[in-house]
Amino acid sequence: MNDVKRITELAHRVGAKVLIDGAQWVAHHRTDVREIGCDFYAFSGHKLFGPTGIGVLWGRHELFEQMPPYQGGGDMIESVTFKRTTYAQLPNKFEAGTPDIAGAVGLGAAIDYIESIGFENFEPYEADLLKHATRSLANIPGLRIIGTAAKKGGVVSFVIENPPISSLDIGTRLDHEGIAVRTGHHCCQPVMERMGVPATIRASVALYNTREEIDALAVALRKILNDDAAKKAKAPAKPSDSRLGFHFPEPAGASPRRLQMS
């Protein structure tokens, strides 16, 4: 967890403006932009259990006043002539065209949902899930947790080093066990380079997760490692289409019939 208030103070000392990406924060902890002192704050709706394709950009009024609109369209102008164009007052100046009405309603409902539960009620619960996940995964032989900061969000990133198995393979095999994780560089390749790994597996926890789900993740990882060890102990099998050691499951539902056009 970055000390964004301290970072903002240091940036302002040298005249810099500060924009904070709070997408990974707002669904887990209370946010007060006035206390932080930043100039802009942004977050996405789907990280807040809301719709995709919508988000929020908060900014200081005086800064938005100085900025020109980034696109044109309905409702963002006040007057248009061949000689001069004047723009609408905030926030309309930056909201050209028909807004994402349905997305805004959905995002509002998501915010109301979080507020109805109360951060004070689920913050300790998420912290407990993170501790349980860290302990459970750290006890798996061959697994190395990447990122062990004292203050961190509800994510556990890890790699399988002994035996080395790619993060994508682990993620795919966990999927076949009914467990969803993220794999890859997570849109932060410079961090991956600094950590000395090409990719990680990332398990995230939120207020809807349970300890039982974390236990299922640990059991599935041990099963994957044990299966690999058992295969290596056997004689090499002839190459076949099933050499990866797992099969894609059949569809859960029947395919729709094609329309018969007369």
Is the preceding peptide bond at 251 cis, omega within 30 degrees of 0? no
Cα end-to-end span (Å), the chain: 62
38 in catalytic set: no
Residue found under tokens 């028909």: 98
If we measure between CA atoms, which residue out of 1, 251, 259 comes closest to residue 126? Answer: 1
If we measure between CA atoms, which residue out of 23, 2, 3 comes closest to residue 187? Answer: 23
Question: How many CB atoms neighbour CB 143 within 10 A?
Answer: 19
Q: Which of 187, 230, 233, 252 is catalytic?
A: 187
DSSP 183-232: EE-TT-HHHHHHHT-S-EEEEE--TT--HHHHHHHHHHHHHHHHHHHHHH
Q: Which residues are catalytic?
A: 187
